Chains A and B, each alone.
Chain A
Amino acid sequence: MVGEINIKHVSKTFKNVDPGQEDVVALNGFTLDIPSGSFVSLIGPSGCGKSTLLRIIGGLDTPSEGELFLDGKKITKAGSDRGFAFQGSNLFPWLTVEKNIAFGLKARHIYKAQKDDVADYIKLVGLEGFEKSYPHQLSGGMQQRASLARALVGHPSVLLLDEPLGALDAFTRMNIQDEILNIWKEHNMTMLMVTHDVDEAIYMSDKVVVMSARPSKVEEVIDIDLPRPRARSQDTFQKYRTKILDILNLGGKINDIEYYL
């Protein structure tokens, strides 16, 4: 099994260019091990650095201190072993759905060998018949599906999801949540998701990592011990929800929590 992530004492400080202003410490000595094949959610107050952490794992930012490892190899830059689903779909507007999904394969010069994967993933996310459509012709949910297919088609061992469903309506959201879970189960990959949505975190994850406000560290890691498929109305589900909300409100430290109920 691949896709194990070890985060060791990672700190990230954003230097403030304005003189007299303090630097922003987004992460301070963050340590976490993510077992391979698990589904882990990061939840925490707004600005707690969870997206920063995801970007560092994705190789889009570098840590100021500390190290990260993917399957024992140090992460230094972005790579196709880590798929990244961004907030909003961010499809390339000048490419059709098909070409968007094939982008990574072509960039890595493996398109010829893995051509069939493109069609498979279009099918997987239910976009057959829209291969030749441009992003602006698709609904928000379809764009997000195409974006997922694009991140997955190169067979990454880890998928990093940065609030990928935040902009979607409730029904589309729930549909795509199930689709992501199916993909996760079938492909045996590690998924790490940043979310504001407590229910989404409980519904999807093996572990929910609750982070504290800036400079953030792990407040508590909660193992979600519920059989899948899960029902949002279960009693135990409610208990997990109360627990997480309690931690998020801890000691009145946080004033601007941002999550959906």
Chain B
Amino acid sequence: MKKIITLIKLILPFLAIVISVLVYYGVNDNGKQKKTEHPYYLYVLALIAILVLIEIVIGVFNRKVLNKIIYKAQFVTGVVVFLTVLNYLTTKTELLPTLYFPSLDRIFGLIVENRCFLLKNVIDSLLLLSEGFIWGALIGFLTGIALGFSKKVGYWLTPITKVIGPIPTTAWIPLALTVFPTTKGANVFLIAFAVWFPVTLMTSSGIQSVNNINFEVAKTLGASTFYQMLHVAIPAAMPSIFLGVFYGTVSSFATLMAVEMNGNSSGIGWYINWQKSVMMYDGVYAGLLIIAALCSLLLTVLFKLRDKVLVWQKGVIKW
């Protein structure tokens, strides 16, 4: 009985895909959507089918992979059903305005056909993001350590941090664009700023909340103050620092989009804005899809890195 249910679960995604294909060819189009050269939507369905199939084949030899795909199968089915409904609504009915709801063929097709141009914009975005991120994280880390360690630095910097830090980065855009000689400089500054604040805050609070006993142990073992800072305070504060980096990353995405949509001429945020202004909503959706993929990829990398650096944390602190 259990085996039959499992089997049904594994067949469901394929069943949904077959139904989707039948709808694609079997129901009359509303004729309003621009035709694409290829049935790109079907290519995406084929890709999903192949990926699921590969996992099942691996799963035959590897129990862990099998359990994973059995667990995921229903979700994949859900996604395909959603796509089917969406495709039906946009291409087969006239319920949704065609201008704002382009067909899936057009959205996927645009990504494929404009891949070089999109890739260039993605790279531009990534370069800008990483430059701003590195500066922000580095300076934030250093100010955080200074704030966490020195009462004197804290006296002068805490009020400034408290007043300037919470100002939303986007509010700085007009000023930054006039003060900085180049747009790029302003962009880097704005992204760095967005990362700087949470990293500073979480680094200093992380260091301040290190249990004093750790420093006492280090002292009795003959560690100098500098050694304690490097080898006790910073590692002990690492979980908190990572949290700051995580917040910083999220807010850097938001800032990246904001600056690219304001007076930039490249990048994925600019692309979306440009497509919108020329009423090409397939480009807007394509851009959103790419951003979603990009941001979740970056966060995944960050979390993997955390798991590696904070391996000692298992069972100590969770977030």
Residues of A within 8 A of B (CB): 58-60, 77-80, 82-84, 86, 90, 92-95, 103-104, 106-108, 134-136, 150-151, 154
- Chain A residues within an 8 Å CB radius of B310: 94
| A92 engages B232 (CB within 8 Å) | yes
Distance between A258 CB and nearest chain B CB, rounded to angstroms: 21
CB distance from B25 to the nearest CB of A (A): 58
Residue of B nearest to A150 (CB): B221
Give the distance to chain B from A222, nearest Cβ to Cβ, in Å: 28
Q: How far is the CA of A78 from the CA of B213 in the complex (A)?
A: 13
Query: Out of A60, A93, A104, A134, which one reaches B221, CB within 8 Å?
Result: A104
Given known A-B contacts A90-B213, A90-B214, A151 and B220 have beta carbons under 8 A apart: yes
Task: From the candidates B213, B223, B311, B315, name the one contacting A104 in the complex (CB within 8 A).
Answer: B223
Least CB distance, A76 to chain B, in whole angstroms: 12
Contact partners of A94 in chain B: CB under 8 A: 235-236, 238, 310, 312-313
B311 to A134, Cβ gap below 8 A?
Answer: yes
In the bound assembly, the distance between CA atoms of A134 and B231 in angstroms comes to 16
Interface of A (DSSP majority class): loop
CB distance from B314 to the nearest CB of A (A): 7
Q: With A94-B238, A136-B312, A136-B315 as known contacts, state yes or no: A80 contacts B220, CB within 8 Å.
A: yes
| Chain A residue at minimum C-beta to C-beta distance from B214 | A92
Residues of chain B in range 294-319 having any CB-CB distance to chain A below 8 Å: 310-316
**B219 near A: Cβ within 8 Å?**
yes
Chain B residues positioned under 8 Å from A154 (CB to CB): 221-222
Q: How far, in Å, is A232 (CB) from chain B's closest CB?
A: 31
Interface size on B, residues (CB 8 A): 24
Give which listed residue, A83, A92, A134, contacts B220 with CB less than 8 A. Answer: A83
Partner of A108, one of B222, B313, B314: B222
Instruction: With both chains docked as a complex, state the minimum distance between the C-beta of A231 and any C-beta of chain B, in angstroms.
Output: 34
Between A and B, how many residue pairs show CB distances below 8 Å? Answer: 74
Q: Does B216 contact A (CB under 8 A)?
A: yes
Beta-carbon contact of B312 and A107 below 8 Å: no
In angstroms, how far is the closest chain B Cβ from the Cβ of A118?
13
State in angstroms the CA–CA spacing of A131 and B287 once bound together: 50
- Whether, in the assembled complex, B227 has its beta carbon less than 8 Å from a beta carbon of chain A, the answer is yes
B195 to chain A, nearest CB (A): 24
The 7 closest A-B pairs by CB, nearest first: A80-B222, A104-B221, A107-B223, A84-B220, A78-B219, A94-B235, A94-B312
A83 to B312, CA, bound (A): 25
- Given A86-B216, A136-B316, output 9 extra A-B contacts at Cβ < 8 Å: A79-B222, A92-B214, A92-B217, A94-B236, A95-B312, A107-B218, A107-B223, A107-B231, A136-B315
B-chain residues with CB within 8 Å of residue A108 when the two chains form the complex: 221-223
**Residue numbers in A under 8 Å from B312 (CB-CB):** 93-95, 134-136
CB neighbors of A among B227-267 (8 A): 227, 231-232, 235-236, 238
Question: B217, B235, B311: which has the most chain A beta carbons within 10 Å?
Answer: B217
Given contacts A86-B213, A92-B235, are A60 and B316 in contact (CB under 8 A)?
no
A107-B222, A154-B222 known; A93+B231 contact, CB < 8 A: no
Chain A residues near B238 (CB-CB < 8 A): 94
- By a CB distance below 8 angstroms, the chain B residues around A106 are 231
Cα of A151 to Cα of B214 in the assembled complex, Å: 13
A-B pairs with beta carbons under 8 Å apart, 13 shown:
A59-B219, A78-B216, A78-B219, A78-B220, A86-B216, A90-B213, A93-B316, A94-B310, A103-B231, A107-B224, A107-B227, A108-B221, A136-B314
Question: Is A60 touching B214 in the complex (CB atoms < 8 A)?
Answer: no
Specify the chain A residue showing the minimal Cβ separation from B235. A94
Q: Hey, which chain A residues are within 8 Å of B216, CB to CB?
A: 60, 78, 84, 86
CA distance A218 to B295 in the complex (A): 67
A55 shortest CB reach to chain B, Å: 8
How far does the alpha carbon of A104 sit from the alpha carbon of B238 in the complex, in Å?
21
